[in-house]
Amino acid sequence: MEDRLRKAHEDQRRKRLASTPPLSSSQRQRVVQCPPPQICYIDMPQQQEQHYETQQHLSSYSVPPHPPASVQRAKPSAKYPCYNCGKTGHFSKNCLALQRSQVPVPVRGYQRQIKKKGPKKDPTQKEGRVHYTHMDQILEGELVLASTFLVNGHPTVVLFDSGATHTFISRSYATKHGYHIDSMRAKYHITAPGSPIDTNQIVRHLRLCIGTENFYIDPIVLPTQGIDTILGMDWMKEHNVLLDITSRTVQMKSNKSGKIMCIHLPNRKHLSPTVNATEAQQIEKIPVVSDFPDVFPEELPGLPPDRNVEFRIDLALRMAPDELKELKIQLQEQLDKGFIRPSSSPWGCPALFVEKKDQGGKRLCVDYRPLNAVTIKNKYPIPHIDILFDQLARAKVFSKIDLRSGYYQIKIREEDIPKTAFSTRYGLYEYLVMSFGLTNAPAFFMYMMNSVFMNELDKFVVVFIDDILIYSKNEKEHEEHLRIVLARLREHKLYAKFKKLCFLAEGSRFLGACSVGEGGSGRP
């Protein structure tokens, strides 16, 4: 029945087209560009069509015909409705009803299969992020907020990193200062430049001194971190810290007074290691210094002479193959210089390596924590950095001298030598000179330096451990002061490192803390 209706409609369409004259090209163009006329068609549901086929008046219902090819290329019009839905204004290939009916239904079983294939997430693992792990990753001219503050009394480079999720500390820095490293149950997967870092170590309850305020931090230990300490968003959120990159200021609420603290931080260039302006020069070309070449040897000549000050101790790791090779070399060097000797002491602490910051390489150290735990602490005062810098207010010319391997220039009292014993893969050895890591070493060294420069202290010399800063009002006066200091070093057979000498500078880096210049004192 439907075929006869379609055939009758096709015959009517052919007669109508035959009686209509063909359109010219210009007329055809106008038909395409003009909007279609407003003609309505009755859209019959499928159920009504089936019912219509049972009626006798079949000629009153007609199926929309297929348009000719010439008209199919034109825009859709009311004359030729969609073959899918019967509505006008679009072709059947663009019919929304057809597109909705063809939307693919996702297979639930396949989705479950994909989920099963994914890796299971460790519930004990936590995520973290850090933007910088080394200062050399910071591009030249990039604005960062960093400065030197005291952490447990040690000058420490601290970076305020709003891109870090947690507070971090360098493992080499923590080991150097003898901080106790704990293990956590949870592991942290830290996204860092280069490659991710996995760690579960933490240092707890470190005292961070900012101005006159004390804050306490629990930093996560990163094994490859080159920056001493990074303060992340966890610490900044706790203390309501506000960072202003443009003015290089950090604002936070004071724990004591409740007022807002505003800390202005130095430029990044003041955090870099001091560039020695005279490094490329010969020692003979420097006035005054050229008269004391024996004070600046390339290496220490051997065992230091007997002094009034001798270090004493009062009682109340597994290495990689390349580290074992380096251990052999350093043990032999120290044996040749007389700094250590084979030991049969009942004492023995493990040896380890720490990274050298200034020139790279590894320094042999000993983990003396068991010995330090039973050692009576020396109460000799270590000067506060703020007090030292107060002496520099009117100075204009500065020179800085670093002693070469300063601790090794003090002998240990004979009866205390066995207590310094340390065990290695190649045997047990003991130090004849004061070693790094001993709890009272800074106090004894400070006592010796104050004894040597007692007449010059706070006149034109300030001393902090093995750093000597000479300050004067003018160059002529400074040369005389420098001559006196070098004469003192020669007299007491104390040796300095020429590579780290800063001579006749208008501003100098001292203790790695801040810059001092004309008419003012520096602050960390």
Note whether 88 and 187 are same-domain residues.
Answer: no
The pLDDT value recorded for residue 203 is 93
CATH number of the domain bearing residue 324: 3.10.10.10
Highest mean pLDDT among 15-19, 82-86, 217-221: 217-221
Note whether 188 and 240 are same-domain residues.
Answer: yes
In this prediction, residues 119-143 reach a mean pLDDT of: 69
Note whether 206 and 319 are same-domain residues.
Answer: no
Q: Which of 179-188, 275-284, 338-347, 473-482 has the lowest mean pLDDT?
A: 275-284
Q: CA 349, CA 424: separation in Å to the nearest integer? A: 9
CATH number of the domain bearing residue 174: 2.40.70.10
Please say if the pLDDT value at position 514 is more than 70. no
- List the domain range (segments joined by +) for residue 32: 2-101
The pLDDT value recorded for residue 418 is 92
- SS3 at position 305: coil
Note whether 502 and 455 are same-domain residues.
Answer: yes
Nearest Cα residue to 203 out of 167, 156, 239: 167
Please say if the pLDDT value at position 112 is more than 70. no
The CA distances from residue 207 to 154, 291, 321, in Å, are 10, 45, 36
Domain final residue pick, 270, 291, 313: 270
- SS3 at position 499: helix
- Asked, for residue 275, whether it belongs to a domain, the answer is no
Query: What mean pLDDT, rounded, does the chain reach?
Result: 75
Q: CA 452, CA 384: separation in Å to the nearest integer? A: 19
Tokens 């006008």 locate to 88
Number of domains in the chain: 3
| 448-477 tens-digit pLDDT | 999 999 988 888 888 888 888 898 888 888
CB 452 within 8 A of CB 463: no
Phi, psi of 129 (to 5 degrees): -150, 145
Q: Give the predicted TM-score (pTM) of the model.
A: 0.41
Q: Which of 197-211, 286-300, 407-421 has the lowest mean pLDDT?
A: 286-300
Please say if the pLDDT value at position 195 is more than 70. yes
Domain final residue pick, 212, 244, 270: 270
The residue that leads in pLDDT, 45 or 492, is 492
- Asked, for residue 119, whether it belongs to a domain, the answer is no
Tokens 């899918």 locate to 84
Tallying the residues shown for the chain, one arrives at: 524
- Asked, for residue 523, whether it belongs to a domain, the answer is no
The pLDDT value recorded for residue 71 is 45
Q: Which of 111-115, 158-162, 197-201 has the lowest mean pLDDT?
A: 111-115
Q: What confidence tier does 307 reach under pLDDT thresholds 50, 70, 90?
A: confident
Tokens of 204: 């707890």
β-bridge pairing 467-472 and 397-402? antiparallel
| 390-401 tens-digit pLDDT | 777 777 888 889
H/E segment holding residue 327: helix 321-337
In this prediction, residues 239-266 reach a mean pLDDT of: 83
